[in-house]
Amino acid sequence: MAKAAVLMVEGYEESETMQIVDLLRRAGVETHTFRFQDDPFVRSMQGMYVKADKVFSDEVRAYDVIIVPGGRTAAAPLIANEKVMDTLRWFDEQGRLVCAMCSGTTVLEAAGVLAGKRVTGYTGYDQRLTSAREFVADEVAVWDANVVTSQGPATSYPFAFKIMEALGIDPSPLKGRLLYAKAQGR
C-alpha cells in the first residue's frame, strides 16, 4: 500500500489539506498529516484547528509521496525550515512523488524540485515558479516525472486524482462513487 505524508504548518489551507487526505484515504493510500509543533491541533488559514497525526521527523522518508498544500502564510515557514527543504530534495533525488498546490508550489520552487519540470500553480505564479521548464496556466493539475502540481483550493479533487494516477491507482471508481463524473469534473 502506498503511503502519503501531508505537511500541516500553521496557516495551511484547510479545504486543500482535508480534501486531499480524504480522497487519498478513500483510494486506499495510507495517508498521514505531519505537524511542526508540539500541540497536535494545527491552526488553519481560516482559524479552524485540525489534529495532525504525527510530528514531522525523518519518519516522512519512509513514505512514497510528500504533499505540500497551500495557505497564504504556510509557505514561508516551510521554506525557512531547512529540514523540510532537505526532505523535499531527498524525495526528488530518490524519484519519489513530490506534490504541491497553490502556495505549496513556491515551497517546491525554493527547494529546487521544479527545475526543468512542466508545472501549474496559482494565478500569477508563472512569475514565481521560474525554474520550471513550462508553466501551464490552463491545466488545473499537472504531473511531470515525479512532480504533481495544482492551482489552488478549487482544484483539490483533480490534484488528488492526479496523485492517484502517479501512484498507479485508477481514480475512475472513486470519481463514480463521488458523483464527480456525473458532474462532469475533469
Note the pLDDT tens digit of each residue in 148-163: 999 988 899 999 999 9
Percent of the chain that is helix, strand, coil (3-state, to 5): 35, 25, 40
CA distance 149 to 16: 13
- pTM score: 0.95
Domain 3-177 has CATH 3.40.50.880: yes
Q: Residue range 76-103: average pLDDT?
A: 98
Asked if residue 186 has pLDDT above 80, the reply is no
Quote the cell numbers at residue 12: 495551511
Secondary structure letter of residue 39 according to DSSP? S
